[in-house]
Structure 1
Amino acid sequence: MENLELEILFQDEFFIAVNKPAGMLVHRTNIAFEENVLIAERLLKEQIGQKVYPLHRIDRPTSGVLVFGLSSEAASLVQPLFPTDDVKKYYLTIVRGYMSENHGIIEHPLKKKLCGDLQDAKSEFWSLSQNEIPIASTNRYPTSRYSLLKVYPHTGRMHQIRRHLAHDRHYVIGDSTHGDNRQNHFFRDTFGMEQLLLHAWKFEFIHPITKEAIKVEADLPDYFINISEKLGLILPPKEGEN
């Protein structure tokens, strides 16, 4: 922990964005009292020498863009923008099967915090790449199909992307909570991979103070790149690349 530094993707006098590794919590929670648990908020505070204020959350097993305010005042200016188009979050994920369409919207109500009242929830997806590999992941078919998706959650419900894709039976690979355990075992046994294949790829927002359009992109972790190559899935180019 002493040598760990978060990759800083963007910083000005009001906000800072980092690339959160998978397995790291955003801030202290009821499960944050495990021995040696990594907390992004605490690590970043120590790294830059000042208090930071999380603007949003991403799940512990999810990697990618995480944005903080450098003051409570700055954070309070962005947080009300999340339900609007002034803030957009795009994820990359690998799922089981081929989508029925290249672009679509999943609108399926979800229970708040996995229980309680239903809340409206909307996720938009684009199928970026798909491939069939000559290896059986189940006893049903001799081959296996996978898709790389870009997903934009219009709402911010708990585990929304994972739950929406599971509802459509396109389970996120490596999801031990809402996923397909047969697929997870297949990836562990065949490729030695246990990570959740969900990455907070891009974060775009209208800067509430400068009014600039800010775009932040986080590189994919190595395990995501490696498994994409093994599955024959083509990753999108980085911003500015052809």
Structure 2
Amino acid sequence: MIHIPIIYEDNHLLVVEKPVNVPVQEDASGDDDLLSILKRDLKIRYDKPGNVYLGLVHRLDRPVGGVMVFAKTSKAASRLSDQIRRNAMEKYYLTIVHGEMEKDRGRLENYLVKDRKKNEVYVVGKSNKYGKEAVLEYEEKEQEAGFSLLEIDLHTGRPHQIRVQLSHHGCPIFGDQKYGQDVNHPGQQIALWSHRLVLTHPTKKEDMTFTSHPPEEYPWSIWPSYTEKK
């Protein structure tokens, strides 16, 4: 049984810490997925008859862990989705990359295309009619042993966006086998973590911040002040 830590819950929101290597929703692997696990948990905890509603409003790649918000009502799902469309929901990530960026902080703007058959994303020119704009801002927090710890402010939620953009700019993420195979090794866990979400509550209209910290494992353990204290 996969344990899913609950960060916050009320009648409209369910905020959890997604475990690494668990798909967000059902996929071809047939492995147990986060959405199904949470629906089963709600059904048991609240003794709900029939199907349980839980709205998926954003996603994380399978190998990525950290904070995620789900909607417990259709009204909440609609309003959270609207925040995402307007870029009003702030999504921050921590990641450890090989090397260092050219500047301590900056903004990356690229155009991305996804090859669905290969499940890979590529950077293309602005003139490519299939390219979708991808924007993020980064800030270098720490540097040691050939690695840099970055905080990412994600402005657009394209598939594999952070991984592809950082690799394209010469700093592949530690453990990323897909976009950093030249410097990473099989079996390494990707060092990308959904660290913080800032959103407006769908009914209370209050600004809320939810935080999750990476595990005390290498390479996160290089900077223990950023990891979860067990």
TM superposition score category, shorter chain reference: 0.7 to 0.9
SS at match of 1:45: helix
Q: 2:167: which partner in 1?
A: 166
Match of 1:15 among 13, 16, 22: 13
Note the C-alpha offset of 1:152. Answer: 1.2
Structure 1 unaligned residues grouped into runs of 5+: 133-144
Q: What is the aligned-residue RMSD (CA, Å)?
A: 1.9
The alignment-based identity, stated in percent, is 30
CA distance in 2, matches of 1:38, 1:199: 20
On the 8 A contact 1:112/1:119 being kept in 2, the answer is no
- 1:177 Cα offset (Å): 1.1
Q: How many matched pairs?
A: 209
Cα distance in 1 between the residues matched to 2:95 and 2:85: 22
SS of residue in 1 equivalent to 2:165: helix
Q: Aligned residue for 1:153?
A: 154
Unaligned runs of 5+ in 2: 44-51, 116-120, 123-128
Q: Provide, for residues 164-200 of structure 1, a one-character-per-residue CA deviation record: whole Å limited to 9, x for no partner.
A: 1011010001111111x24212xx6xxxx61111000
**Is 2:98 the counterpart of 1:96?**
yes
Structure 1 stretches of 4+ with a deviation exceeding 4 A read none
Q: Distance in 2 between matches of 1:227 and 1:62?
A: 14
Measure how far apart 1:73 and its partner are: 2.3
Structure 1 residue 45, shift from structure 2 partner: 1.0
Indicate the SS of the match to 1:80: helix
Q: Trace 1:173-192 onto structure 2 (pairs within 5 A).
A: 173-179=174-180, 181-185=181-185
Query: How many Å separate the matches in 1 of 2:60 and 2:100?
Result: 26
Q: TM-score under structure 2 normalisation?
A: 0.84
Which residue does 1:73 correspond to in 2? 75
Provide the C-alpha distance between the structure 2 equivalents of 1:234 and 1:39, rounded to a whole number of angstroms. 30
Instruction: Normalising by structure 1, report the TM-score.
Output: 0.80
Deviations 1:197-239 (A, max 9, x none): 100010110112111111111121232xx3233xx4464488x
Partner residue, 1:212: 206
For residue 67 of structure 1, what is the amino acid of its counterpart?
A: V
Whichever structure has more helix as a proportion of its residues is 1
Please name the residue that 1:227 is paired with.
219
The equivalent residue for 2:107 is 105
Deviation sequence 1:27-50 (CA, Å, 0-9, x none):
113x242xxx12001111111214
CA distance in 1, matches of 2:140, 2:172: 14
Partner of 2:54: 52
In structure 1, how many angstroms separate the alpha carbons of the residues matched to 2:150 and 2:86? 22
Task: Work out whether residues 131 and 233 of structure 1, in 8 Å CA contact, stay in contact via their aligned partners in 2.
Answer: no
Secondary structure of the equivalent of 1:126? strand
1:197 is matched by which residue type in structure 2?
A: A
Q: In 2, are the aligned partners of 1:83 and 1:154 still within 8 Å (CA)?
A: no
Is the partner of 2:202 in helix, strand or coil?
Answer: coil
Letter matched to residue 120 of structure 1: E
Q: Which amino acid aligns with 1:74?
A: A
Other-structure match for 2:197: 203
